[in-house]
């Protein structure tokens, strides 16, 4: 063995010993042991085989949000839920009744007076997963999706029914899903992930000084259950309740974890950063980017009737033409059809010349923001 070869072998041996030391530091880290325990121990919901059924999740969420439930925290969970829906989403609330739902209103106990929640509420031939309301101030409807996706026009049908019974100052419609890429058919439903529910509602509940120990145990078990696989074959989780622990572990043991990721040919996790959302995007910009075509059709469905508009160019600007009139904003003709103030970006669906739906104007604007502006 040459001196060079011998030196190389010694170096590799030292590197191996050093890696083993760092790996031992990882697996004996109290945070790692805590994470291992959380992942390996069954929750009470797994034990009773009620881990990931929509009806069961709906019942638990209803119990958490109901100010009169024996959770015993009054309006606090519902206030945190409304804050999450209103301020922790990229949803555009312009021209929506929720635009005026500010922090002052969210913290006002009067808007929650008389709130009652029910699950599996029959609404004609429809069935609403979770609905809570009082007399005329606040109504919250949650369509809960876990394993299945929305059936054809499901949320649109729900929205039609809810619009016919809308006498509320704040009418909140939420599409709750584990998958951030799963969007509702109706643009009136606000997509919310279980991760957001975990971070902005459930975890603050666990930190509340007035929560009773027995209820804290139940909520904590539910939070841990969100991190269990939805499907034993395909995997996937509803949320990552232990992401803070994972991030701390990665920061502390970055070198050894990066080496493990390299062996597995996987990239290390990257923290997501929030990007600013801009609402000053025009139809002309979307057309110039090739996301819209002059041959596209615009359709709004209102009370089972389709209303159609088209794009027109005037003085180098793209406008919407409806019933012979030209409009700069999609909200103006949308309000004429709906008979109330509305957000045309959410309401108008775009269909190409082959009658394939491209999404709402809001969806297309979001694509522009992600693919063009963020570049």
Pair (42, 63) in one structural domain: no
Identify the domain containing residue 40 by its residue range: 21-47+244-267
Pair (200, 147) in one structural domain: yes
Pair (117, 142) in one structural domain: yes
Tokens of 372: 């063009």
Q: Which of 323, 190, 234, 213 is nearest to 52 (CA)?
A: 234
Residues of 259-272 as b/e, b for ≥16 C-beta within 10 angstroms?
eeeeeeeeeeeeee
SS3 296: coil
Residue 273 lies in a domain: no
Q: What is the pLDDT of residues 299-357, one digit of tens each?
A: 998 877 889 999 999 988 999 999 999 998 898 898 888 877 778 888 899 999 889 89
Residue 230 lies in a domain: no
Pair (110, 188) in one structural domain: yes
Pair (310, 339) in one structural domain: yes
Residue 229 lies in a domain: no
Q: How many domains does the chain have?
A: 3
What string of pLDDT tens digits covers the 375 residues of the chain? 565 566 666 676 777 778 788 778 887 888 788 777 777 777 777 766 566 788 889 999 999 999 999 999 999 999 999 999 998 877 766 656 687 888 899 999 999 999 999 999 988 788 899 999 998 899 999 999 987 788 888 999 999 999 888 889 999 999 999 988 888 988 889 999 999 999 999 999 999 999 999 999 999 999 999 988 876 555 578 888 887 888 888 888 888 888 777 776 665 555 544 444 445 688 998 998 899 999 999 999 887 788 999 999 998 899 999 999 999 889 889 888 887 777 888 889 999 988 989 989 988 888 888 765 444
Pair (203, 299) in one structural domain: no
Pair (136, 108) in one structural domain: yes
Residue 355 lies in a domain: yes
User: Per-residue DSSP letters for 339-350?
Assistant: TS---HHHH-EE
Please give the share of the chain, as a percent, with pLDDT higher than 90. 41
């Amino acid at each position: 063995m040459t001196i060079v070869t011998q030196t190389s072998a010694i170096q590799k041996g030292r590197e191996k010993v050093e890696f083993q030391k760092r790996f031992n530091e990882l697996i004996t880290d109290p945070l790692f042991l805590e994470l291992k325990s959380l992942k390996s121990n069954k929750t009470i919901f797994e034990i009773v085989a009620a881990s990931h059924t929509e009806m069961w999740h709906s019942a638990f969420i209803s119990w958490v949000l109901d100010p009169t439930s024996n959770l015993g925290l009054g309006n606090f969970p519902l206030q945190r839920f409304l804050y999450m829906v209103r301020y922790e989403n990229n949803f555009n609330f312009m021209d929506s009744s929720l635009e005026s739902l500010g922090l002052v209103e969210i913290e006002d106990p009067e808007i929650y007076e008389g709130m009652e929640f029910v699950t599996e509420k029959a609404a004609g031939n429809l069935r609403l997963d979770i609905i809570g309301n009082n007399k005329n101030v606040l109504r919250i409807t949650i369509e809960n999706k876990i394993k299945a996706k929305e059936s054809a026009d499901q949320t649109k049908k729900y929205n039609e029914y809810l619009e016919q019974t809308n006498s509320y100052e704040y009418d909140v419609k939420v599409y709750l899903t584990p998958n951030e890429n799963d969007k509702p058919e109706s643009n009136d439903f606000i997509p919310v992930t279980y991760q957001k529910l975990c971070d902005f509602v459930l975890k603050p509940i666990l930190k509340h000084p007035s929560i009773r120990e027995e209820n804290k145990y139940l909520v904590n078990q539910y939070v841990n259950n969100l991190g269990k696989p939805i499907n034993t074959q395909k995997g996937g989780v509803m949320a990552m309740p232990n992401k803070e622990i994972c991030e701390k572990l990665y920061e502390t043991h970055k070198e050894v974890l990066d080496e493990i990721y390299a062996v597995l040919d996987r990239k290390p996790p990257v923290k997501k950063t929030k990007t600013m959302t801009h609402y000053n995007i025009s139809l002309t910009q979307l057309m110039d980017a090739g996301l819209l075509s002059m041959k596209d059709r615009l359709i709004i469905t209102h009370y089972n009737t389709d209303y159609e508009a088209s794009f027109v160019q005037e003085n180098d600007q793209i406008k919407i033409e409806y019933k012979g009139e030209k409009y700069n904003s999609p909200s103006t003709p949308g309000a004429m059809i709906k008979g109330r103030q509305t957000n045309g970006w959410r309401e108008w669906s775009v269909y190409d010349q082959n009658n394939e739906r491209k999404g709402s104007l809001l969806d297309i604007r979001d694509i522009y923001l992600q693919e063009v502006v963020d570049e």
